[in-house]
């Protein structure tokens, strides 16, 4: 294990050691006897640790224990479940610096973003605590005398969670915090590109459940490749599968879960745009576009990939953005003077270079040229230059999501044209408009405006708060996580009718007398 910026001490503080580098059901870490997976940091290319992969036998053992744990957990009163999630939030507060550092080093996002991701976990725990006393149903008036009707919500069972590398811990917490207060148990398959962050989280939360005298299996971790994801997707014992990742992956998960008539909650690709009108406050617009395009090195599902700019301010925006890109400092994400860290691995770099080649071949023009960085500090081969290219919305590469810091500039004339461009891609996650004109803002938010699950005014496309439901439309999958009433995805609805009369009238006035 490395000691870059104190990472080795952080690993120790998080309880990561050779005895727990694998899958677990609660505090019980399982020895699968299988091959191991090495986790390398894109920051310096060094190996952090090796993690044991799960086998099908490991998977079966974990699911069996989860089913047993559910029988106990679902009968714990919801407010008490909320109290336990409160303790998890407090435990995360204590390790925020160490966990944020691990997320940054293992995934490559800046340390500030790593801290922000842990804060997001803390925030969703706080949200879930309040939610534990608000799992409301409705009451309805019956058409039959002497009857009353109401609905209630019950726990589903095991929630399978398949998460992506770019948010190695936060998206898991969106699911688990809500699922736990709803009475579900969770089975997590993290990205094999960031397994240590997941192991740290499992260590933290399993300890809390154990301290409460609860059975093993409320929180479960399965470290494995896509074959484990396939097991989860096809397993009828898992009523809900929440999957975050590419559209390609989501289609496979959705098909498998759908064939067994299970539920899937899909958070998939984004191809997000900001519209900058001639009435925009350019100070806000440039800052929003800059972070949206280069934050997390362009590896957010909400990353700004297209900038749709009104023709009267197009040249000004282009020049100011180019100047801003020129001031970016690229380097080790744990060094807080750096704005941009590395891509996750060299395969991501290859995709980045291929996208640049494709946009140029289609006729795109470089505003800020991309390229791979080399030399001292860039030995991992994962550091690239954030790039800007003038392009057309119909270019094939522009229609697809590239998980890298490449921004496409697109010119428009009228606002209806801009909205059509914004909507003219297969994905529908996040969108934004920069304008001080109320009519433009309202037109963007209207039913004929943005077709995305998220539509912002005078802020960028990334950086969602946990209070709102997060998710998108079209090839983004249609799922909703985090705030608002997203909790309903983790429960089953039951309608109840109670007859307290001495008669048995039938609904719709049907007569059935003998």
Backbone angles phi, psi at 449, to 5 degrees: -95, -135
Alpha carbon dihedral 237, 242, 247, 251, in 10-degree steps, equals 20
User: What angle in degrees, to the nearest 10, is found between the helix axes of 111-131 and 96-107?
Assistant: 120
If you search the block for the tokens 């997390």, which residue do you land on? 296
Backbone angles phi, psi at 243, to 5 degrees: -125, 130
CA dihedral sign, ordered 344, 348, 350, 352: negative
**Residue of 113, 192, 267, 401 with catalytic role:** 267
Q: Among this protein's residues, is 301 annotated catalytic? A: yes
Give the CA count within 13 Å in the CB-facing half-sphere of 302.
23
E strand segments, 256-376: 263-267, 272-276, 304-310, 365-368
**Residue of 125, 186, 301, 382 with catalytic role:** 301
Other residues' Cβ atoms within 10 Å of the Cβ of residue 426: 13
Q: Is 93 within 8 Å of 159 (Cβ atoms)? A: no
Pairing of strands 272-276, 430-434: parallel
Q: Among this protein's residues, is 267 annotated catalytic? A: yes
Stretch (H or E) spanning 329: none
Q: Is 240 within 8 Å of 216 (Cβ atoms)? A: no
Cite the active site residues.
267, 301
């Amino acid at each position: 294990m490395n000691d870059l910026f104190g990472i080795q001490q952080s690993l120790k503080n998080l309880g990561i050691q050779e005895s727990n580098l694998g899958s677990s059901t609660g505090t019980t870490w399982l020895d699968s006897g299988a091959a191991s997976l090495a986790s390398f940091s894109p920051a310096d290319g060094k190996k952090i640790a090796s993690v044991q992969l799960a086998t099908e036998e490991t998977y079966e053992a974990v699911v069996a224990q989860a089913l047993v744990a559910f029988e106990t957990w679902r009968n714990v009163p919801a407010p008490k479940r909320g109290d336990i999630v409160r303790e998890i939030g407090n435990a995360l507060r204590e390790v925020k610096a160490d966990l944020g550092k691990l997320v940054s080093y293992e995934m490559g996002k800046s340390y500030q973003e790593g801290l922000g991701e842990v804060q997001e976990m803390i925030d969703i725990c706080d949200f879930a605590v309040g939610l534990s006393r608000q799992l409301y149903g409705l009451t309805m008036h019956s058409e039959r005398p002497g009857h009353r009707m109401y609905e209630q919500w019950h726990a589903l069972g095991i929630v399978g969670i398949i998460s992506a590398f770019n948010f190695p811990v936060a998206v898991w917490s969106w699911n688990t915090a809500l699922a736990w207060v709803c009475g579900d148990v969770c089975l997590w398959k993290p990205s094999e590109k960031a397994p240590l962050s997941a192991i740290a989280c499992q260590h933290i939360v399993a300890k809390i459940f154990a301290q409460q005298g609860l059975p093993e299996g409320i929180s479960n971790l399965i470290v494995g490749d896509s074959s484990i994801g396939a097991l989860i997707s096809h397993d009828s014992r898992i009523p809900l599968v929440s999957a975050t990742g590419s559209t390609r992956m989501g289609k496979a998960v959705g098909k498998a879960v759908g064939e067994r008539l299970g539920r899937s909650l899909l958070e998939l690709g984004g191809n997000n745009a900001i519209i900058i009108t001639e009435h925009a406050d350019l100070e806000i617009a440039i800052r929003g576009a800059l972070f949206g395009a280069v934050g997390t090195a362009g590896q957010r599902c909400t990353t700004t990939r297209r900038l749709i700019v009104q023709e009267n301010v197009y040249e000004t925006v282009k020049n100011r953005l180019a100047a801003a890109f020129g001031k970016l400092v690229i380097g080790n994400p744990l060094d807080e003077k750096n704005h941009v860290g590395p891509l996750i691995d060299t395969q991501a770099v290859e995709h980045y270079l291929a996208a640049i080649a494709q946009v140029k071949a289609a006729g795109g023009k470089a505003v800020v040229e991309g390229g791979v960085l080399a030399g001292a500090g860039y030995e991992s081969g994962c550091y690239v230059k954030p790039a800007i290219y003038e392009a057309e919305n119909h270019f094939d590469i522009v229609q697809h999501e590239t998980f890298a810091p490449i921004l496409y500039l697109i010119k428009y004339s009228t606002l209806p044209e801009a909205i059509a461009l914004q909507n003219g891609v297969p994905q529908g996650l996040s969108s934004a408009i920069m304008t001080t004109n109320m009519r433009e803002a309202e037109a963007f938010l209207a039913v004929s405006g943005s077709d995305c699950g998220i539509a912002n005014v005078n802020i960028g496309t990334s950086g969602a708060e946990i209070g709102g439901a997060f998710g998108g439309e079209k090839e983004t999958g249609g799922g909703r996580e985090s705030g608002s009433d997203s909790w309903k995805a983790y429960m089953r609805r039951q309608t109840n009718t109670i007859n307290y009369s001495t008669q048995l009238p039938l609904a719709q006035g049907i007569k059935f007398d003998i």
